[in-house]
Amino acid sequence: MDLSQALTPEAIVLGLKGSTKVAVIEEMVDRLVAAGRIKDRQAALQAIMEREQKMSTGMQHGIAIPHGKTNTVDDLVALVGIKPEGMDFASLDGQPARIFVLTLSPENRTGPHIQFLAEISRQLNDPQIREQLLQASAVGEVFQLLTGDRGR
């Protein structure tokens, strides 16, 4: 999957400000609402938080992938947020999360969601890419690193 189908420069946040799991998720959802990518903020938050209650989406290597399914979106939407100092996200390896990838997809469509998660995971599995993301000083750098798109 081409990550630029779901990820746009407007959906990249450098320097997330939230200091709790809920605050970071709300900050990311609010950015997607402001960009017009989510119709119903409450429904989006509910879908993500319900998924988070089942099991933390804090992975390994400083990555968290909060996600959910809701019909408040027509297609897969995604946002990448960076918090270089990290924060507790109940990650599998016990380490602070520093790179956040929030996704929402329609309840009745699983293909794009799985493809996106597989591709973003492949990218973030590379320690060099993770370090470059954390060092990025511009949204364009993050977008280019993840999508290879130099034209936006």
Among residues 21, 31, 37, 67, which one is catalytic?
67
> Domain for residue 71, yes or no?
yes
> Domain for residue 31, yes or no?
yes
Which pLDDT tens digit goes with each residue over 18-74?
999 999 999 999 999 999 999 899 999 999 999 999 998 999 999 999 999 998 898
Total structural domains within the chain: 1
SS3 92: coil
> Domain for residue 152, yes or no?
no
> Domain for residue 114, yes or no?
yes
Which residue segment(s) compose the domain that 24 sits in?
A: 3-147
- What are the residue ranges of helices labelled H in 1-152? 21-34, 41-54, 111-124, 127-135, 139-147
Q: 21-28: long-range contacts at Cβ-Cβ below 8 A with a sequence spacing of 24 or more?
A: 21/52, 21/87, 21/88, 21/89, 21/90, 22/49, 24/81, 24/83, 24/87, 24/89, 24/100, 25/49, 25/52, 25/66, 25/102, 27/81, 28/66, 28/79, 28/81, 28/100, 28/102
> Domain for residue 109, yes or no?
yes
Tell me, what CATH number does 91's domain have? 3.40.930.10
Q: What confidence score (pLDDT) does residue 152 get?
A: 41
Q: How confident is the model at residue 3 (pLDDT cuts 50, 70, 90)?
A: confident
Is 61 one of the catalytic residues?
A: no
Instruction: Note if the pTM is more than 0.85.
Output: yes
Q: Which residue has the higher pLDDT, 149 or 37?
A: 37
